[in-house]
Amino acid sequence: MCGYDRTVIQSAELAGVFDELADSYDHGHHEEIARALIDRVAPGADDAVADVACGAGAVARQLARERPAAARPVLAVDLSPGMIAAGRARAAETAGAEAIDWRVGDAVPLPVPDHSLDVVFCASSLHFLGARALADWRRALRPGGRVGFSLPLATHFRPSPRFAELLAGDVPLPADAREASDWTEARGFTGATSRVLVLGTRRVVLTSATRPYGR
């Protein structure tokens, strides 16, 4: 079976899993991660921003509440129609209908022109997308653009067998912040910094980095 077919099958399986979770998703946990990522990257008020594999759009919704009404919409992409529907419903309580551009579809590649984004966020999803996502973020970001993402800390991640089968084999979960930064820079970003975020019994690594000029 070709690699493309495997990617299509995995995407369909992921969409099904997250559709089932849409009504019972741990929104509070993921909103804390989103808030910490936004604080870390600190995007400008009118930056072109994408929330990649957004789930219910925790990053997009928080940004939409804080941006000026005239700012361009935040792009929120996820392959799960159920998660996008949940995000739309939650956003209706706090943000205008035009503040977020919701898209159902695979987040790699992002549906944007080359070098058109200022910031890419990816909260709690990179370990499913694979390293190909970072190559696509370099394509989509303008030189000097910023990325912010989270990964589970290896020592505290206990996925169910169903989720374990869907993890990307080319994204090693970091044992500490330094590993996350080194891995990010090895994939073409510069100035990577990371820290461990403690959320109850869970631990995640938050990483921010810059798309270099001239590459």
* Nearest residue to 42 via CA among 117, 147, 173, 186: 147
> 41-57, pLDDT tens digit by residue?
999 999 999 999 999 99
Rounded Cα distance, 69 and 36, in Å: 23
Query: What is the per-residue pLDDT for 92?
Result: 86
Query: What is the per-residue pLDDT for 28?
Result: 80
Query: What is the per-residue pLDDT for 70?
Result: 87
Q: pTM for the complete prediction?
A: 0.89
Q: Band of the pLDDT at 5, cuts 50, 70, 90?
A: very low
Burial of 125 from C-beta contacts in 10 A (0-12 / 13-18 / 19+): buried
Q: For the chain, where are the alpha helices, taking DSSP H only?
A: 3-21, 27-41, 58-66, 81-91, 126-129, 132-140, 161-164, 177-186
> 148-176, pLDDT tens digit by residue?
999 999 998 887 777 778 888 999 999 99
What's the average model confidence in pLDDT over 3-26?
Answer: 55
Paired tokens of 104: 């159902």
Paired tokens of 185: 């820079």
What is the fold, at CATH topology level, of the domain defined by 3-210? Rossmann fold (3.40.50)
> 60-71, pLDDT tens digit by residue?
999 998 888 889
* Nearest residue to 63 via CA among 6, 105, 121: 121
At residue 189, does pLDDT exceed 80?
Answer: yes
Paired tokens of 156: 């505290």
At residue 13, does pLDDT exceed 80?
Answer: no
Average pLDDT along the chain: 88
* Nearest residue to 10 via CA among 168, 170, 152: 168
Q: Band of the pLDDT at 26, cuts 50, 70, 90?
A: low
User: Is residue 81 reached through a cis peptide bond, with omega within 30 degrees of 0 on the bond before it?
Assistant: no
